Homo-oligomer: A and B are copies of this chain.
Amino acid sequence: MAKTRVPLRAVAQANDDFFYERPGSLPGTLHIEENSPPPEIILIDYNEAGAIRKEIATPEECTPYLDTKSVSWVEVLGLGDEGILRRLGQVFNLHPLILEDIVNVPQRPKVEEYEDQLVIIARMVIPKENGSGFYSEQVSFVLGKHYLLTVQEEPKYDCLESVRSRIRSHKGIIRKHGADYLAYTLLDAIIDGFFPVLEDYGEELEALEDEVVSNPTHQTLEKIYRLRRELLGLRRAIWPQRDAINSLIRDGSDLITEEVRVYLRDCSDHAIQVLDMVETYRELGSGLMDIYLSSVGNRMNEIMKLLTVISSIFIPLTFIAGVYGMNFDTEKSPWNMPELNWYWGYPLCLAVMAAVAGGLVFFFWRRGWFQNFSTIKDDSSVTNSAETATGSPSAAAEYKRLPR
């Protein structure tokens, strides 16, 4: 009944929305979203000898598999049916708070140890097909002695298919190890799933670098803002995940063997790399903001220069023309605008105007105010040279062998 979820666009855009219970709701209340798909349950049971895969209808069908020595991986895809989820809780003997964390998505990634279970809440990201932004969903792990329960929010996409195929085709050493190794493999796939997303952002950053130099518009700024917002979201997805993995390595539950712990160190390295890249991209993003702001200032300078050049040249000329437009009566006095009656009066006047204009043009040219046209052309060549000088493989290949 008390189902509420933050529906903010701003937050949703940053992929960092949070589940929140209506204040005062009962602990253990499950909040099923209306458009959430009903859960599919798939059981994969394997050992070194073989592997079976069953789509099962009721959680209770899992029971006979859980205590056998073969590894049982129970995959639940979708959170749309409270009844089934509660029965799942009974089958796996889950603490009400575990079930709450699994169902009331999104939760912050974390690791929690219970008596004979280890609960890992992770966040999986999938790059959008249009190369901008990412989908994200929660994957919850409950690791027991011989089983692993994973619950995914969204059945339609994930990045775990390769693990399934590895079990199916007995590739690698996965079928020789226990459920802890399976959990590691899935976690590793989830962490590695951040890299393609980062790659997209790296490309976007590169495009923005070009745009901010060549043609910065107000939309460029919005793009930078959006990029920074999404990187903020990404950082908040990976940061607690890294902590969670580190606490897995450090605190050492009995459910994780020493051997798998070595593998987890590798997984932790990847999480740190993701975090490093996110931080780097965020710093580059704020550097872009600086360049953008200075571009706005530079553009203003150019506009003002143009105005100043045109005004400064024509205003004095117009003044001269105005002087000789005055109607002083030349006949009343020889001092009254005698120029008007000179034989060379008009050509002389034009010559003076041309001299004034020429002098001002020369003045501006000397101060370099006309350079900006060539500068604009230079800009692109600079960018090109920057491109070629960046240690691309071909450049590296031309590197003369240093004497040894």
Q: Is the CB of B311 within 8 A of A97?
A: no
A310–B364 CA distance with the chains assembled, in angstroms: 13
* Chain B residues positioned under 8 Å from A10 (CB to CB): 202-203, 205-206, 209, 284
A154 neighbours in B (Cβ, 8 Å): 396
Query: Assuming A157-B402, A206-B10, A298-B296, is B318 touching A18 (CB within 8 A)?
Result: no
Cβ of A211 under 8 Å from chain B: no
Nearest chain B CB to A112 CB, angstrom units: 7
Given A15-B391, A327-B327, A396-B135, A315–B312 Cβ distance below 8 Å? no
Known: A135-B396, A327-B337. A307 touches B312 (CB 8 A): yes
- Closest partner residue, chain B, to A126 (CB atom): B402
Complex alpha-carbon distance, A296 and B295, angstroms: 10
* B residues near A107, Cβ cutoff 8 Å: 269
The answer to whether A8 touches B218, judged by C-beta atoms less than 8 angstroms apart, is no
Bitwise, A83-112 to B at CB < 8 A (1) or not (0) is 000000000000101001100000110101
Q: How far is the CA of A322 from the CA of B128 in the complex (A)?
A: 62
Q: Tell me if A392 is interfacial: C-beta within 8 Å of chain B.
A: yes
A67 surroundings in chain B (CB, below 8 A): none
B263 near A16: Cβ-Cβ < 8 Å: no
**Inter-chain contacts of A13 with B (CB < 8 A):** 386, 390-391
* Least Cβ–Cβ distance between A130 and chain B, in angstroms: 7
Instruction: Given A308-B303, A393-B35, A402-B158, decide whether A386 and B321 contact each other with a Cβ distance below 8 A.
Output: no
**Do residues B332 and A342 form an inter-chain contact, with CB atoms below 8 A?**
yes
Find A108's partner among B269, B292, B317 (CB 8 Å cutoff): B269
A171 within 8 A of B: yes
Shortest Cβ distance from residue A359 to the other chain B in the assembled complex, whole angstroms: 13
B311 engages A400 (CB within 8 Å) = no
The answer to whether B14 touches A280 (Cβ under 8 A) is yes
A370 interfacial by beta-carbon distance below 8 Å? no
By the criterion CB–CB under 8 Å, are B322 and A318 in contact? yes
Identify the stretch in A44-52, A55-63, A143-151, A159-167 within 8 Å (CB) of chain B at 4 or more residues. A159-167
**A4-25 interface with B by 8 A CB criterion:** 6, 8-16, 18, 20-25
User: Are A289 and B292 neighbours in the complex by a CB distance under 8 Å?
Assistant: no
A327 to B296, CA, bound (A): 45
Closest to A221 in B: B294
**Is A247 close to B, CB under 8 A?**
no
Give Cα A401–Cα B23 distance, bound, in whole angstroms. 17
In the bound complex, do residue A225 and residue B287 qualify as a contact, i.e. CB atoms below 8 Å apart?
A: yes
A86 CB to closest chain B CB (Å) equals 15
Beta-carbon contact of B222 and A291 below 8 Å: yes
Partner of A318, one of B303, B315, B336, B378: B315
Whether a CB of chain B sits under 8 angstroms from the CB of A352 is: no
Whether a CB of chain B sits under 8 angstroms from the CB of A265 is yes
Q: Which residue of B lies closest to A363 (CB)?
A: B306
Shortest distance in angstroms between A360's beta carbon and chain B's nearest beta carbon?
A: 9
Residues of B within 8 A of A110 (CB): 269
When distances are taken between beta carbons in the complex, the residues of chain B under 8 Å from A361 are none
In the bound complex, residues from chain B placing their C-beta under 8 Å from that of A198 are: 6, 20
Q: Which residues of B contact A293 (CB under 8 A)?
A: 290, 293-294, 297
Residues 265-309 of A at the B interface (beta carbon under 8 Å): 265-266, 269-270, 272-273, 276-277, 280, 283-284, 287-301, 303-308
Instruction: Give the residues in chain B near A257, CB-CB below 8 Å.
Output: none
- Say yes or no: A336 contacts B345, CB within 8 Å: yes
Q: Is A68 an interface residue, CB under 8 A from the partner?
A: no
Q: 6 closest pairs, A vs B, by CB?
A: A24-B162, A321-B322, A20-B195, A8-B202, A324-B326, A23-B192
